[in-house]
Amino acid sequence: MLHSCVHSTWCYCIPKQSNIPSLTALTARNIAMNHFTSSCSRTQSITLIRNLPKEIVSKVLHEIIKSNALTDDRLTLFYTFTHTELRLRMCCSIRKSILRQIPFYCPQLRILDFSYSSQVNNPIVRGVLQHCTRLQVLELDACRHVTDQAFQPDYSPFCPLRACTSLKRLSIAKCSQITEKGLFLIAKTCSALIDLNVSYCRRIGNTAVDAFLHSSLPLLRLEISFMELDDRAFDVPQPFSPFTTLCGLEYLNLTHNKFTDASVSVLTCHCFCLQELVLDNCDSITDIALETLVRGKWIGKLKVLSLENCSQITDHGVLALCALTHLKTLNIAWCDITDKSVMKFVHSFEQAEEEEKFTHLRKLNVNWCTQLTDSTLNAITRIYAKRLDRLVFSQCPYFQICITGCKRMSMRQRQHAEAIGVDIVCLDI
């Protein structure tokens, strides 16, 4: 779908993004719906899968799962032909005896997703870790029967957990039986881990997180949201080593914890590589934290900052963020802010982009910032119009602003911004 963009004396046509499925996806959907039915024999199904390209096989399985048509027999058909990737998200009806066969039929797996499959337990996970020696991604979200024992290396001394040494991403969010011991075992055995998600694991406390952050894992991404942690999780030992996990993090998600400005101060001093920081729903974070943030050693690397529903953030804090002229995404939804700070923030990017001849800010989320008016939209429109003047149109990046709940922004100003080319996201409530 196209809409016109009028600027100066030129008329541009911008293709609107749409969710048009690819030919591969349509082919996979057709095969899943028309061939994997009760009327199709097992021999016919095997012949069909054998002749399919590898990239379509996994998509066919995904379509079968999405239509809630996966059975034990149909899953076993894919074992021989699924060499590197197997995603069994929300497949609760598959028997455990079938899942235990995965390591023997698919030893070359690189990616395995068991998320929200509640029947998955320790023997299944240990079997995968023992025999899928090249496994790199393991997703176990909401597998409530998985405990610390799944990662205990000395539980089966004659069958070591060899996949732990190759594992790069591990997600155990909402695994309610994982405790501090489990986190220590992960730090000990998964030496190549770069991405870890332990969100909602509330039996992991401050002490364990603090010790983990000061280990030597080469971690780049860490999610510890909804865990009721506080500032004690960031106690810095003396003397401090610059070669710890904390110093190497590029992405950190601290959503819905009890952290205060003191924790942000620790991050400012010791996270030299941080590019994305998520502090959503941290009610104790104030403007002081943002003032500290802009003085950080890694300030030039920060690309994404999310402060959604941080109730103590005001105009003063947003004005401090004007120094972060390399930000690409800022989320200040549900914050108590006005046009004054947002316009000043946008203006700082306008000046920086004119000096550096480079565009930075791509997305601004101000959902339910009810005090914002047309002045904010006008400032956004102006910065995007100047980008069009300065750059070749094909090289001008999009700009998206989310304004759901901003009742003071008029429809006329929204239409004007969209005509220039700004992507307006607004859900009519």
pLDDT digits (tens, 9 = 90+) for 160-169: 999 999 999 9
190, pLDDT greater than 90 = yes
What 3 state SS string does 385-415 have? HHHHHHCCHHHCCCCEEECCCCCCCCHHHHH
Enter the DSSP assignment of 163.
G
Distance separating alpha carbons of residues 183 and 211, to the nearest angstrom:
10
Cis amide linkage into residue 239, ω under 30° from 0:
yes
Mean pLDDT of the chain: 88
The architecture in CATH of the region 316-429 reads 3-Layer(aba) Sandwich (3.40)
Average pLDDT of the segment spanning 221-248: 89
Please, which pLDDT band fits residue 38 given cuts at 50, 70 and 90? low
Q: Which tens digits make up the pLDDT trace of 48-61?
A: 888 888 888 888 89
Please, which pLDDT band fits residue 13 given cuts at 50, 70 and 90? very low
217, pLDDT greater than 70 = yes
Residue span(s) of the chain under CATH 3.80.10.10 come to 83-204, 219-313
Average pLDDT of the segment spanning 336-342: 96
Q: What share of the chain has pLDDT > 90, as a percent?
A: 64
Q: Cα dist. 212→163, 183, 205, 222, 352 in Å?
A: 21, 8, 11, 11, 38
Q: Which tens digits make up the pLDDT trace of 87-121?
A: 999 999 999 999 999 999 999 999 999 999 999 99
Average pLDDT of the segment spanning 233-240: 79
Q: 3-class SS at 26?
A: helix
Q: Tell me the range of 2-6, 54-58, 187-191 where mean pLDDT is highest.
A: 187-191
The answer to whether 379 and 343 have CB atoms below 8 angstroms apart is: yes
Predicted local distance difference test score (pLDDT) of residue 4: 39
Pick the CATH number of 219-313 from 3.50.50.60, 2.60.40.10, 3.90.1150.10, 3.80.10.10: 3.80.10.10
Predicted local distance difference test score (pLDDT) of residue 37: 61
Tell me the sheet residues that pair with 170: 138, 196
Predicted local distance difference test score (pLDDT) of residue 395: 62
Average pLDDT of the segment spanning 248-260: 97
Distance separating alpha carbons of residues 135 and 86, to the nearest angstrom:
11
CATH fold of 83-204: 3.80.10
Predicted local distance difference test score (pLDDT) of residue 239: 64
Q: 3-class SS at 380?
A: helix
Predicted local distance difference test score (pLDDT) of residue 358: 65
Predicted local distance difference test score (pLDDT) of residue 154: 83
pTM, two decimal places: 0.90
> Residue written as tokens 């994404």?
304
Q: What share of the chain has pLDDT > 70, as a percent?
A: 91
